[in-house]
Amino acid sequence: ITERDWSSDVCSSDLMPSAARPRVPVVDADGITKVYAMGEIKVNALAGISLRIMPGEYATLMGASGSGKSTALSILGCLDRPTSGSYSLMGKPVEGMDDRELAGLRNKFLGFVFQTFNLLPRTSAVQNVELPLVYAGVKRADRREAAMAMLERVGLASRAFHRPNQLSGGERQRVAIARALVTDPALILADEPTGNLDSRTGQSILELFDELHDEGKTILMVTHDDGIARRGTRAIRISDGRIESDTSF
């Protein structure tokens, strides 16, 4: 997939006045199902999820353990494929893409923040942040500059050359957020980002997400906490693989 493939739609719309440009949904999922086969037993993890998220929304995905929220996040993050249904990310239909194309889609449009940080343990903070730019083929000097700017953004420039085991949990999560931001993604996907943090540190991470939303970032966060859900603009609750409620604030 070439850069021209990704930008052809954008280039034509850039010629239009901003007020006249169509607002393309960041996420557009219709009738998504996911069935896992466990021997002769079939488990319906998702039973027809339809969801649209527009640019600038801060949506939370809620549900009990086993409700399907993590499966939904994996599919919306192009880490897994649905059994049936259609899904477009930034107007790009996902079905039919091979693994290489999906990897390119993830790297261009998505930033991931996980509960367990998922940092490379033997590399420095700045090298962890650079990683998506390495995959994107960005030159070394340019990616170092971009990574340092993102660490500055999350308040960790002074810790850029520390390894993860030299950082606190909150600092490691800030490195993960900087890594998610470094490609300027269309969507930040966060899976229980405060789950491994104490309440005070977790609060500082949530405040950072609030700031990112205020800056216009689109966020989809998995959480089990009603208080966290109300920090966003929308709370989507999943039960037994179906959307039970979808509330805007």
**DSSP bridge partners of 52:** 28
Q: Supply the pLDDT for residue 73.
A: 95
pLDDT tens digits, the chain, 249 residues: what are they? 333 343 334 344 444 454 555 689 999 999 999 999 988 999 999 999 999 999 999 999 999 989 999 999 999 999 999 999 999 999 999 988 999 999 999 999 999 999 999 999 999 999 999 999 999 999 999 999 999 999 999 999 999 999 999 999 999 999 999 999 999 999 999 999 999 999 999 999 999 999 999 999 999 999 999 999 999 999 999 999 999 999 999
Q: Supply the pLDDT for residue 177.
A: 98
Q: Are 215 and 223 in contact (CB under 8 A)?
A: no
Q: Is 223 exposed, middle or buried (0-12, 13-18, 19+ CB in 10 A)?
A: buried
Residues in the chain: 249
Distance CA 91, CA 68 (A): 24
Provide the phi-psi class of 159: left if phi over 0, else alpha when psi is between -120 and 50, else beta.
alpha
Q: Are 53 and 187 in contact (CB under 8 A)?
A: yes
Q: Supply the pLDDT for residue 248.
A: 95
Q: Supply the pLDDT for residue 22.
A: 63
Distance CA 82, CA 136 (A): 26
> Phi, psi (5° rounding) for residue 104?
-65, -40
pTM: 0.88
Distance CA 184, CA 5 (A): 18
Q: Supply the pLDDT for residue 211.
A: 97
Helix (H) or strand (E) holding 36: strand 27-38
